[in-house]
Amino acid sequence: MKILVTGTAGFIGFHLAKYLINRGDQVIGLDNINDYYDVNLKYDRLKNTGIPKRKVAYNKLIKSRKYSNYQFIKLDLEDRENMFQLFATQSFDVVCNLAAQAGVRYSIENPHAYVQSNVVGFVNLLECCRHYDIQHLAYASSSSVYGLNRETPFETTHTVGHPVSLYAATKRTNELMAHTYSHLFQLPTTGLRFFTVYGPWGRPDMAYYLFIKAILANQSIKVFNQGNMARDFTYVDDIVKGIVKVIDRPAMSNTNWDAHQPDISSSTAPFKIFNIGNNQPVNLLRFIEIMEEKIGQKAEKIMMPMQPGDVQVTYADVTGLINELGYQPTTTLSEGIEKFVDWYRAYYKVHTERVPAVLTE
């Protein structure tokens, strides 16, 4: 297939692009390479896929020096004119949208960035898919949409009407917009609610990344909600395999859908929402303990209250993805953390000047 993957200078998008390239798909990666976190890390991800930094210019397709079936373009989803031009000239079969303004707490201080990228940018993408006969749009949602819901494990049939951050609200908005286009234009769309993805080449603003930096620098780490937190930590390779299964199976109409008892994760339209996670929540203190074991060094912990916009537990029910698409995460937490620690040490040994500062958040 010819696949557009947005967000390929980002964490998950980078890994997904490499997987699709290696299995033989024609892939075009797109990213605006914003400065939400260290752009050097983003350019190094691109370099790993054969895209040299000095060649990157806005709205210019660059051929990979490493893979004959990969090209990259720096472009904003909000740039409607150039997005339409890209679709008009490339004849994509499938689109996977992983580009977004990320971060829960950052959305409290910078709401307009989230509206522009996650809402305006997403409707531009929907319009492109509609007008250029895309066979399937798969897109990233988030576990944060469950908001104030306390019934665990989170199921895709649960209510998601009470988000606690603007980031979560924009992701729920994406799901609603996608359903509208599936209903009006028969565009197959599948949303994936991600649960705490971790692994090599990860995001420096994520807690596990901040933990290893601080521990190796003999600095204290902040443990929020007194450590009374649990996350459904999912290794990036498992996530990518799940995304690929979704990409390969376009959403279909649910012929048993009942308007009197509506399932919000499916529809009479070709629309579907899945949770994608590890289905095994881990206490934050246990996660830190395993990281200490793999690093070989203890962390000095500062216990902190809960942060605004955060939730105490994320726990994915991934039954739908398992039963319908055969998804099965296989990487244990110990294996995944060890791989991340090994990558971190290797990467920052080469790029010592780029070790990220410990963020106050």
36: annotated active-site residue: no
Q: Pick the catalytic residue from 167, 181, 315, 344.
A: 167
For tokens 């290893």, what's the residue?
A: 212
CB burial string 244-280: b at 16+ within 10 A, e below: bbbbebbbebbeeeeeeeeeebbbebbbbbbbbbbbe
Residues 6+ apart with CB under 8 A from 109: none
C-alpha span between 90 and 183 (Å, rounded): 25
Buried/exposed 51-89: b ≥16 CB within 10 Å, e otherwise: beeeebeeeeebebeebebbbbbbbbbbbbeebeebbee
What is the identity of the amino acid at 233? F
The H-or-E segment that residue 289 falls in is helix 284-295
Residues tagged active-site: 167
